[in-house]
């Protein structure tokens, strides 16, 4: 121990300052030499906090942010507190759940919903196909970026019937309808052929005379010919109505649909359509049969209606399905491959869905 009594003395290393000598060494921080020091020794200095490390051994960011926050990141990092462990960072849409741990971007991934990230997303990495560095230009929160695959739509938990299954089912129904229409129109067909045998020779003679340079009068069909043509179209529409509407109303399936394992259901409730919806569904394209003789307008309308599901990427419904608020779905199959009925769920717009169109 030194002979010098404890007290405040000029620091030999820096005469412009003074420090406390405890008899063995200098203590505390130096004070300017012209400042009146406190009575007694200086208060003890707080111990230096040890360098903290994260659970993975990485040190915290130098800017004081949470563990793992990049030291070169500008701006204020997300705040963490007991009542709300993760709050939304700048740019995160209001009212949207905070980002998952490790999400590197300033906006949520498309489809971000309360309760978890998109299917297949791993913490610390963007979802599949998400470009590095942030969302593409023009992307708006709540909408998928260009090229982002849409979520499938399953009406009432059942997948949409495929285009191939609907097409084959329609062919089966048309084949059976053709047989039924020919039987129902058999008497009208006989009378129509007889009228045609009178009209055709006149038409052939008219064409020959025109080719010879003559100016013959154009032959006209008899009124009976026109009446028979209209009667056959009416009978055809009636047979089609009697074949399709009761089956769709009661079971949602014609013979073709039943063989292909597909079914028409209500879009909102998932139930069988009933007579009202079945009639509206058939009426949009079935009554066009009466206009087949008007330059084929009715047939063209039915063709466009049949192709309309191809232009509905989301629900794949035909025009007549939109009018009736119905959709065609694929029924589940048992182990033998036979379609079995399934009770639909109560959510027609389930996002785990691949909505049904029409054939």
Please give the C-alpha separations between residue 237 and each of 204, 257, 305, 313, in angstroms, as whole numbers: 32, 20, 16, 31
Q: Would you state the structure tokens that stand for residue 263, as one six-digit string?
A: 């079914």
- Compute the distance between CA of residue 141 and CA of residue 132 in angstroms, rounded to an integer: 17
Give the start-to-end residue ranges of the domains of the chain.
Answer: 155-183+229-330
Question: What's the pLDDT score for residue 259?
Answer: 94
End-to-end CA distance of the chain: 104
Summarised one tens digit per residue, pLDDT across range 140-179 is 655 665 666 565 667 888 899 989 999 999 999 999 999 9
Summarised one tens digit per residue, pLDDT across range 238-259 is 999 999 999 999 999 999 999 9
Among 230, 235, 234, residue whose Cα is nearest residue 183: 235
The answer to whether 325 and 155 are in contact (CB under 8 A) is no
Percent of the chain with pLDDT over 90: 30
Q: Would you state the structure tokens that stand for residue 280, as one six-digit string?
A: 């509206």
Please give the C-alpha separations between residue 148 and each of 112, 128, 256, 316, in angstroms, as whole numbers: 13, 9, 36, 19
Q: Computed from CA positions of residues 13, 18, 19, 21, in that sequence, does the dihedral angle turn out positive or negative?
A: positive
DSSP letters, 292-321, are: TTTTTHHHHHHHHHHHGGGG-TTT---HHH
- Compute the distance between CA of residue 190 and CA of residue 176 in angstroms, rounded to an integer: 21
Instruction: Look up the pTM and report it.
Output: 0.52
């Amino acid at each position: 121990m030194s002979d010098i009594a404890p007290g405040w003395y000029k620091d030999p290393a820096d005469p412009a300052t003074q420090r406390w000598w405890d008899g063995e060494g200098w203590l505390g921080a130096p004070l300017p030499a012209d400042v009146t020091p406190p009575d007694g020794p200086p208060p003890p200095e707080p111990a230096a906090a040890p360098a903290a490390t994260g659970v993975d051994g990485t040190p915290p960011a130098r800017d004081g942010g949470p563990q793992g926050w990049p030291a070169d990141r500008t701006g204020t990092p997300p705040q963490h507190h007991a009542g709300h462990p993760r709050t939304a960072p700048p740019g995160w849409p209001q009212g949207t759940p905070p980002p998952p741990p490790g999400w590197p971007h300033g906006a949520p991934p498309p489809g971000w919903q309360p309760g978890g990230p998109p299917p297949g997303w791993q913490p610390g990495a963007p979802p599949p196909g998400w470009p590095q560095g942030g969302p593409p230009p023009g992307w708006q929160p709540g909408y998928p970026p260009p090229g982002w695959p849409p979520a499938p739509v399953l009406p009432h938990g059942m997948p949409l019937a495929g285009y191939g299954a609907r097409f084959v089912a329609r062919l089966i129904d048309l084949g059976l309808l053709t047989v039924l229409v020919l039987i129902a129109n058999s008497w009208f067909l006989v009378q129509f052929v007889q009228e045609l045998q009178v009209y055709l020779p006149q038409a052939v003679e008219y064409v020959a005379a025109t080719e010879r340079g003559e100016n013959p009068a154009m032959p006209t069909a008899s009124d009976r010919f026109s009446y028979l043509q209209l009667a056959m179209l009416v009978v055809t529409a009636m047979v089609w109505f009697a074949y399709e509407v009761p089956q769709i109303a009661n079971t949602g399936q014609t013979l073709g649909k039943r063989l292909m394992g597909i079914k028409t259901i209500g879009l909102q409730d998932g139930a069988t359509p009933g007579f009202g919806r079945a009639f509206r569904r058939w009426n949009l394209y079935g009554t066009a049969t009466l206009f087949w003789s008007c330059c084929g307008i009715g047939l063209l309308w039915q063709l466009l209606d049949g192709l309309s599901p191809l232009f509905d990427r989301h629900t794949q419904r035909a025009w007549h399905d939109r009018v009736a608020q119905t959709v065609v779905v694929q029924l589940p199959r048992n182990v033998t491959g036979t379609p079995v009925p399934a009770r639909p769920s109560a959510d027609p717009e389930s996002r785990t869905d691949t909505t049904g169109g029409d054939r």
